Amino acid sequence: MQIMTAVRRPAAGIATLLLAAALAVPDGPARAGDVAKPQIVGGEKAAPGEFPWQVALLDGSVGNTFDAQFCGGALISERWVATAAHCVFDGRVEPPSAVDILVGTISLKSGGVRIDVDTIVVHPRYDERTSENDIALLRLVEPVDVETLPPVTLGEETALTAAGTLATAIGWGDTLVKGERFPVDLRKVNVPIVTNRVCNGPRSYAGEVKTKMLCAGLAAGGKDSCQGDSGGPLVVPDGDGGFALAGITSWGARCAAPNKYGVYTRVARFATWIEKVVAAPRRAPAAGVSTAVRATAP
């Protein structure tokens, strides 16, 4: 099993979280490697303002935003970001000071606002070995005035995430099936949701996909998330002209390979936990003090 992350910066600080350790050149090829997902392969550039809730997770110790970006995420409220647990957990929860959030731009080279994080909450049952419960919530030090992305609820799951639904994966991840090329600008790719039964077929993941995971992609391959897309959103139409957060980019074997679908955290199964974490009262941390917790499950 491979986790969909890639390092785009020197191996320092939070870089120890990531399984791939290649330093990529903007929009240029880098060292080839059989690393797990994600980045967007077979997609296209997103338009400015198309996905206003999309954010980039940045290494707080690196000033250059392109080099600092290591995962994606989505604003689910004015102060909370949903991402993958494996982006911020490596045997322990990373301190909030290690992570910044880039909001309000599709470019890793210009625009947007870099915001500090004051709390990181990793799901208490996250399993690094199996990638089960691969979800974390990050609280910003201050609210942002940006359109947010509602998570799919358990009651909406059947209607919004049925097999065949055309979902959209979004991120700044690798764009090449072989080798590496990381884009400056945000990219998107449309991929159909497939059943867990199909995803667990003998040519696919043979039982590794669990009930709280969601798969999307093409049997023929060619379109997928890839390394660098981890933590980013898989969105579906909400039935009212907008989008809803159906999945969080989690893992996969190779990028855009036949029968190797992208695997995402099934957000609807965590709706109650998300609500409890976001609603829980929290004291503002003292100056210079960061808070990192593994919140209890509902």
Q: Which of 59, 134, 224, 229 is catalytic?
A: 134
Burial class (CB in 10 A: 0-12, 13-18, 19+), 92: exposed
C-alpha angle with apex 18: 26 to 95, nearest 5 degrees? 110
Cα gap 113→294, rounded to integer Å: 27
Marked catalytic residue, from 97, 204, 225, 230? 230
CA-CA distance, 57 to 72, in Å (whole number)?
Answer: 5
Q: Which two tokens stand for residue 79?
A: 């102060």
Of residues 104, 108, 72, the one with CA closest to residue 249: 72
Q: How far apart are the first and last CA of the chain?
A: 28
List Cβ neighbours of 290 (8 Å cut-off, separation of 6 or more).
95, 96, 97, 118
Query: DSSP string of 123-171?
Result: -TT--TTT-TT--EEEEESS---S---PBPPTTTHHHHS-TT-EEEEEE
Beta strands in the chain (DSSP E): 44-45, 54-59, 69-75, 80-83, 99-103, 113-122, 136-140, 166-171, 187-194, 213-216, 233-237, 243-251, 262-266, 291-293
238 is catalytic: no
Catalytic residue among 59, 67, 77, 86: 86
Let me know: does 297 contact 272? Beta carbons within 8 Å. Answer: no
| Residue 134 is a catalytic residue | yes
Active site members? 86, 134, 230
